[in-house]
């Protein structure tokens, strides 16, 4: 079974660019939408809308409220998410393909840092 978000949640994630060093994903959802478990490598997340989400891995959960126009570091992680706000989510992820430090590799980090 894959943990690639474009395969686990193709209604929400779309590849907009890819080469040997990065993959760029666009993510969109509506209030109440949920994703199934998936994994992100180390990434830069750019918010294109204001949104509220609940991110969950195992029994750990975190709620985040982000505003449009932010760029955040997203350490490698596995999670599932839910739009718990009243507005759609629109985000760009720039996923790094090169290996990095082990920080965040275990999936214990949730959300942007």
pLDDT of residue 98: 81
- CB of 35 closer than 8 Å to CB of 83: no
The answer to whether domain 5-96 has CATH 2.60.120.10 is yes
For residue 87, give the nearest of 70, 65, 72, 103 by alpha carbon: 65
pLDDT at 2: 82
Q: 102 or 53, which is more confident?
A: 53
Residues in the chain: 113
User: Mean pLDDT across the stretch 96-100?
Assistant: 79
pLDDT tens by residue, 34-93: 999 999 999 999 999 999 999 999 899 999 999 999 999 999 999 999 999 999 999 999
Please, which pLDDT band fits residue 104 given cuts at 50, 70 and 90? very low
* Burial state string for 46-76 with b = 16 or more CB within 10 A and e = fewer than 16: bbbebbbbbbbbeeeeeeeebeeeeeeebbb
| pLDDT tens digits along 10-40 | 999 999 999 999 999 999 999 999 999 999 9
Retrieve residue 72's tokens: 């955040």
In the chain, what are the domain boundaries? 5-96
pLDDT of 100 reads: 57
Q: pTM for the full model?
A: 0.84
Residue pair 42/4 in contact by the 8 Å Cβ criterion: no
């Amino acid at each position: 079974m894959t943990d690639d978000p474009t395969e686990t949640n193709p209604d929400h994630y779309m590849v907009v660019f890819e080469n040997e060093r990065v993959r760029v994903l666009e993510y969109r959802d509506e209030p109440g939408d949920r994703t199934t478990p998936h994994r992100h490598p180390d990434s830069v997340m750019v918010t294109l809308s204001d949104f509220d989400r609940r991110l969950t891995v195992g029994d750990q959960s975190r709620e985040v409220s982000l505003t449009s126009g932010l760029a955040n570091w997203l350490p490698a992680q596995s999670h599932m998410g839910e739009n718990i706000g009243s507005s759609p989510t629109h985000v760009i992820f720039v996923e790094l393909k090169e290996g990095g430090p082990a920080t965040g590799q275990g999936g214990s980090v949730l959300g942007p840092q």
